[in-house]
Copies of this chain bind each other. A is one copy, B any other.
Amino acid sequence: MKGNRLELVTIGDELLLGFTIDTNAAHIARALGEIGFEIVRRSTVGDSAGDIAAAVGDALSRTGAVITTGGLGPTSDDLTKASIAELFGRKMVMDENLLREVEARWNRLWPGRHFPAPNRQQAEIPEGAEIIPNAHGSAPGIRLEDDAGRWVAMLPGVPREMRGMLGEQIIPRLKSRAGGTVILSKTLRTAGIGESAIAEVLGANPLDGVPSAAMLALAFLPSALGVDLRVTVRGLLREDSEEILAAAALKLRERIEAYVYGEGDADLAESVLALCRSRRLTVAVAESCTGGMLGQRLTAVPGSSDVFRGGIIAYDNQVKEQLLGVDHATIAENGAVSVETAAAMASGARQRLGASVGIGITGIAGPGGGTAEKPVGTVCVAIDGDGITSARSLRLIGDREEIRQRSAQSALDMLRRALITV
């Protein structure tokens, strides 16, 4: 193994044909980065013994350390063990202990059914290989090392099994020999400001003054949920990296604090629920173009029931009038997509559901329904509550799904900002 450098070989026709997206690769890279190991190249090959051996051989010649995923199951497609055994010049041998385990597992899952002969293959391992236990499925992992210290760790392709084994078996082994430096990142999540506006607020060298600023990389990651700012540091010790990232986050927050709703995997709905909870507020929603998405976002958070009371999906204008009490005249004069209707919907939801705050969303998500005056992407959001009443008309970009996501996120951000300023 050269330094803390590895290669990854992901195996499977499904991956290569594009029927499955390779999420394992990203997971492994992030998990290894956090303990200072770097994937320097990744290859994907199909279920072909020759291609597997060639890719693993190439990778070994470069780094001497390879992790593979996939091809460990019991079927004829599963060629990883045998092809890598051949690459190492090892025979396949039956491991009697493993055979007993595989049979026992079969008998537990299918009591009374005959153990099929082909499944014995699962207990064959390359001579001299080490078995990596799999607490999450039937196919164990395999680790093979040659006299020169070059090694391959073979993990299953099923993400749940792979993740479990990586965390429980591979990471602890690597950690014990880690050289010390790591790859770490920290993400600030923002809403309510675009990528170019945030770049302008931050200026040309936003991290100037942070220790080791030259070792930091800042990425802008826009999505329908807002712009994430990710700072990454590579090649420093964990403790130093964490300190520098904290300083970098602080520096960025100085200029954009109002837009930041959280760090890492933070969810805006969760932030809003926490703000409401601490102020003993309850929330109800009235949704037109989002059709339930805002309620879905809020209820995706476990324990949301102490804040969220429910809502009314008023897709039809009659429903806006009958169930939310929006005046017929409000809609007739201003249109169903207007700040006036959004405000009346928010107020109706608050009153009808007995909540402290109501949120209203009405808009044109497209692809049809736009006009010259109110094109697709015109969305009005409103909040109505004690001292935090507000309504805005927005022009959102993207396809139907993105416009709906931006609508729900904008409404949540409107409430978040109202709450932090009162």
Contact = CB atoms under 8 A, between A and B. Distances in A.
Taken together, the copies of this chain in the complex come to: 2
Interface string A269-302: 0000000000000000101011111111111101
A310 interface: yes
A352 B180 CA distance: 64
Contacts of A312: 310-313, 323
A323 B355 CA distance: 13
The A interface, classified by DSSP as helix, strand, loop or mixed, is mixed
Contact of A293 (B18, B43, B296): B296
Interface residues of A, number: 74
A150 interface: no
Contacts of A185: 19
Contact of A26 (B20, B39, B290): B20
B310 A319 contact: yes
Interface stretch (A44-52, A89-97, A248-256, A410-418): A44-52
A206 interface: no
A205 interface: no
A151 to B, nearest CB: 21
Contacts of A28: 18
A108 to B, nearest CB: 15
A18 B22 contact: no
A289 B20 CA distance: 30
A14 B287 CA distance: 37
A247 B289 CA distance: 41
A303 interface: yes
30 contacts: A16-B41, A16-B42, A17-B39, A17-B232, A18-B25, A18-B30, A19-B230, A21-B21, A25-B44, A40-B46, A41-B55, A285-B292, A291-B296, A291-B300, A292-B293, A292-B297, A292-B298, A292-B299, A295-B313, A299-B313, A299-B315, A299-B404, A300-B401, A302-B367, A310-B313, A311-B312, A312-B312, A312-B313, A323-B323, A323-B353
